[in-house]
Amino acid sequence: MSEPVPPRPEGLRFLSGIILRSTDPARLVGFYRDTLGLPLAEEQHGDSPVHWSCELGDVHFAVHPAEDGEPTAPGAVQLAFMVFDLDRLVAWLTDQGIALCYPPTEFGEESRITAVRDPDGNLVELTELGPTWLDHLKAHRTTGGDLVARWTARITTDGS
C-alpha cells in the first residue's frame, strides 16, 4: 500500500523563466537578439559563467552556456512569441535569409502563425494573436492569473 500524498500547498500558475542552454550561446544570442529583436543583455552573477537575459512580459528569458558534459538536445525546445505584425516580420525574416518552416496560416479565430528554427534547431513559433486571445487573457487575470496582483496581495497579507 502506498503512502498518501500530502496535500499540495498550491498549484503552479505562473511561468517565471525560460532558460536555453547551448554549446554555442553567442550564436544563439545573435539569433534571438539581432534577428528576432529580444533585448538580451550580457550578465554575470559572481563566479557564474557569462550569460544573456531579458524580461519578456513577466517571464525571464535567458541563454546560458551548456556546462561540460551537460546534455543538450538540438530541437528539443519549442518557443512561441507573440508578434503584432506577422506579415512585416515574415517579410523582414525572408529578406534576412531566414527560412520559414511553413507559411503563415490561420490559427483559431482571428490569429495567424508561422515558425522558424533557431541556430540550435529549436522551433520558434511567431504568432499574431487576435482579439479573442486578449479577451482570454483579461478573463484569466480576473481569476488570479495576474502575477503582480497576486504578489502584491501576498505582501499585503504577510504584512511585509
Residue at 61 is within a domain: yes
Per-residue model confidence (pLDDT) at position 159: 65
Give the integer Cα–Cα distance in Å for 92 and 77: 24
Per-residue model confidence (pLDDT) at position 76: 74
The pTM (predicted TM-score) of the whole model is 0.80
Give the integer Cα–Cα distance in Å for 54 and 63: 10
Q: Are 64 and 33 in contact (CB under 8 A)?
A: no
How far is CA 131 from each of CA 75, 109, 126, 137, 142, rounded to the nearest angstrom? Answer: 31, 9, 16, 10, 17
CATH of the domain at 25: 3.10.180.10
Residue at 39 is within a domain: yes
Give the integer Cα–Cα distance in Å for 65 and 74: 14
Domain count of the fold of the chain: 1
Please tell me the total number of residues recorded for the chain in this structure.
160
Say which residue the cell 502506498 belongs to: 2
Give the integer Cα–Cα distance in Å for 93 and 107: 20
Residue range of the domain that includes 50: 13-72
Residue at 37 is within a domain: yes
Most confident residue range from 7-16, 47-56, 134-143 = 47-56
Taking all residues of the chain, what is their mean pLDDT, rounded to a whole number?
88
Residue at 17 is within a domain: yes
Per-residue model confidence (pLDDT) at position 16: 82
Q: Which of 31, 5, 144 is nearest to 153 (CA)?
A: 144
Residue at 52 is within a domain: yes
Give the integer Cα–Cα distance in Å for 125 and 93: 13
Q: What is the pLDDT averaged over residues 31-44? A: 95
Per-residue model confidence (pLDDT) at position 20: 92
Residue at 146 is within a domain: no
pLDDT of 47-79, one tens digit each?
888 999 999 988 999 999 988 767 677 777 889
* Whether pLDDT at 2 is above 70: yes
Per-residue model confidence (pLDDT) at position 71: 65
pLDDT of 85-130, one tens digit each?
999 999 999 999 999 999 999 987 789 999 999 999 999 999 999 8
Q: Are 151 and 138 in contact (CB under 8 A)?
A: no
Per-residue model confidence (pLDDT) at position 128: 93
